[in-house]
Chains A and B, each alone.
Chain A
Amino acid sequence: MSNIHRSRIRRNPAAVSIPRRRFLQGTAAAGAFATTLPVSRVAWSAQDNVLRARGRADLDKLDPGFYQNSYNVDVMNCIYSKLIHYKPGRKWGWKLQAAEKIEQVDPTHIRFRLRPGIMFTGGYGEMTSEDVKFSFERVIEHDSPVKGDWGPLDHVEIEDKYTGVIVLKKPFVPLWNITLPYGAGHIVSKKAVMKATGDGGDFGMKPPCFSGPYVLDEWKPNQYAMLKRNKDYTGPDKAEFDEIKVVPMQDEKTAQIAYESGDIDYALVSLSSLDKYEQNPPPHSSIENYPSLFYVWIGMNTDHPKLKDINVRKAIQWAINVPQIMDTVYFGKADAATGIIAPGLVGHRDKSLVPPEGDLDKAREYLKKAGVDGLELTIDTLNASKWKSIAEIVQAQLGQIGIKLQVNVQDSGSFWTLGMESEGDRWKDLQLIVNRFSMAPDPYYATEWFTCEQVGVWNWERFCNKQFDQLNEEAIGETDPDKRGAMYRKMQDMMEESGAYRFITHEATPIMYRNNRMEVAMRPDGNPLYRYFHSV
């Protein structure tokens, strides 16, 4: 009987009374519903005076005295004011912002005079020299993680309501390049911060008031930060947009798709896509490429037994062909580095001691001198594809001189403590490393990590040279740019001569934006200064 029924079902499939038409109608209903939802083409796209920009990550700190990460500072630039700010353009420089006048009186004294009439929101009154004193000194008093930005700040003297003098314990030239025009240079209201925190400490993501042309209207974690025009702003450079919406997008390709679809009007472009966009830009779009300040290098642990011999390190330096890396990983859109200080900054070297192409014969000579054969080494790298690719190219290049290289891939949390002595003994096994540091526009910011004091902290090559340390100390206070530049060039020579470094690149920061909606204002390294973006 069962066989009969089975065969019946097989033979007569139409026996079930579900008409095909009804089935198709039913199952297509969901699809039809979806297609009716989009009511109009790009209905959500920007039509009003709103700047929609891609943020590299979600905000996590809006207290300038305790700032972390540049994506927070991009927003701080809009909602607070500081004495001076970076001049938008292709050349590094600064312009007055909240200060009417500022001058270096002597190597340890800087006098400023505030513009009268810059108001804090929320009824906290006018910005005064008392607020400047409070904002700068709290960074030191509260032991902020960025107190290094203020270097040897002693105190701020108040001369009158608008005038004050920044007093340093010793000369500190980077103050003009990385402190006053950047994160720690922002001025907050003493009254408001004291009221909000009680002790003047970190107010995190809850700014008690604002002093810039925009105010933070809403922050939806992981969604967007919405800035609105500050109607009470009386300072220079008024807000050009009614709103600025910064949308965090970690993935560059996602940001590009968001740009093409009209969700955002300003985005960073990945180097792999740059060629495509340059040849065929989206409608009403401009593509611009800025040299970045980041520095990427292959480091060698000079304390590791296999790398103790300088000849081995030199062999590696000469075996690495940087242009090959640039072509493969950076698609020929970034330049080879000559050191750790990027072009355009004081102390940049015109060329490196080891030519970017290297020389395999010379590398073999060094290896012969070292008397090693069948050398096996490791290289540690972050787990993103770019870094893995660099490590793999180096692996192939060293293979040409008979060095077998094993690539160790690490996640960011693990990678960034590899060479730290405080984190166990992993630094002892560290051999080669693909490394990349961010940078602010002062050479001191690059060299400070390679001193003897930093060995086992951030100096993972364990390069230690007393003359380097001395120069680093002297260059901080050297006010003559030519002399200062010569010092930093010498320091980079020392780094390279140690054989512990093979400089790769400073990378690049390509951007695209809707030119029928805005004119961008960028720092020379491609960081956006939204405050100075113009509405078209």
Chain B
Amino acid sequence: MWLYLVRRIVLAMVTLALAVALLHVMIRAVPGDPAAIILGPRATAEQRDKLRERMGLDQPFYVQLGIYFVDLAHGDMGVDVMTGRPVSRIVFEQLPYTLVLILTAIAWAAVLGIPLGCYSAIRRNTLADRVSGILSVSVIAIPAFVMSLYSLLLFAVTLKWLPATGAGDGFFNRHLLLPAFAVGVSWVGYLARVVRASMLEVLGETHIRMNRAFGLPEARIVFRYALPLAILPTVTLLGVGMAYLLSGAVFAEIVFARPGIGTLIVNAVGNRNYPIVMGCVVVTTGLFVIATALADVVNALLDPRARESL
């Protein structure tokens, strides 16, 4: 297990380095002068040159990349050229809002989707299963922004039960409910369908049939023997899902005017604010690697076969 963790960490660092290098290449391939955008139209050519120099953009590509890696190793992500604040501070100020949003979204989706999937599998081909299937596919098919807008109109504008925008004080409050609902709703459908499919497969396996032959209670068979196996693909899906939710959080943060890393990236890309873009990518890539590694570890804990293969 420890060897596995070391391997994952090394792999994570390689992934991170590749992502940063790739992004450096992409940023330079895309037209657009950050100095012109940051300084505005009234700046002179000399002022723009000075800013480019300050941002290190006058250096060759490999030098810029080398400096970035050295700084990163020292925990320095650079300085935001717009506000003069450290990038790490800006990114880590915004990150908790995004993390809270996606974790809440995936948590409520899992709490609802997994039991729904189990129930559908157990009651296969009944009316309840069909209704659950239709609902699951519907929420997958309805774009999340449509759901966001209608939930805003219903709960914030018409009923005035919930605030429409902002993050409020602290992290867990009423402001979180609508965005978490919008981000997580399609995941209820996904999880229900995945759990149902894997549950049906597991329920048909020999050891389950053997349990039944021994006369074990059906609830024990389902929750003690079937669900831990059926949940494995779901755990992997949740790990990867974190990455999708990171990108999905962008729309929620804009529609609900919430702080977060999604809004930060969108603005930074538009402004060609390279230090912020790079800082965000480093952090989100790190998060993605951690999420997938965690999913593998949880898989290993749940399934001895997976543990052996690590």
Contacts and interface: CB of A to CB of B under 8 A. Distances in A.
Interface stretch (A218-226, A329-337, A484-492): A218-226
Contacts of B48: 422
Contacts of A458: 41
A449 B41 contact: yes
B45 A413 contact: no
Nearest to A423: B33
Contacts of B31: 413-414, 417-418, 423-424, 426
A9 interface: yes
A194 interface: no
A344 interface: no
A261 B42 contact: no
Interface in A247-289: 247-251, 254-255, 257-258, 260-264
Contacts of A32: none
A42 B257 CA distance: 18
A122 interface: no
A416 B34 CA distance: 10
Given A10-B125, A257-B164, A23 B32 contact: no
B165 A263 contact: yes
A481 to B, nearest CB: 24
Contacts of A57: 267
Nearest to A260: B157
Contacts, number: 191
A254 B256 contact: yes
B30 A414 contact: yes
A256 to B, nearest CB: 9
B156 A261 contact: yes
A413 B149 CA distance: 29
Interface of A: 1-2, 5-6, 8-10, 13, 15-18, 20, 23, 26-27, 30, 34-35, 37-38, 41-42, 44-45, 57-58, 60-61, 68-69, 143, 145-149, 202, 204-205, 220-224, 247-251, 254-255, 257-258, 260-264, 411-414, 416-418, 420, 422-424, 426, 437, 449, 457-458
Given A18-B219, A149-B42, A420-B36, A254 B123 contact: no
Interface string B202-246: 011010010011000111001000000000000000000000000
Nearest to B203: A9
B163 interface: yes
Given A37-B177, A257-B153, A222 B94 contact: yes
B161 A257 contact: no
A30 B111 contact: yes
A6 B218 contact: no
B163 A261 contact: yes
A437 B31 CA distance: 20
B126 A221 contact: no
Interface string B158-173: 0011111111100000
B40 A68 contact: yes
Contacts of A69: 40
Interface stretch (B1-9, B15-23, B114-122): B114-122
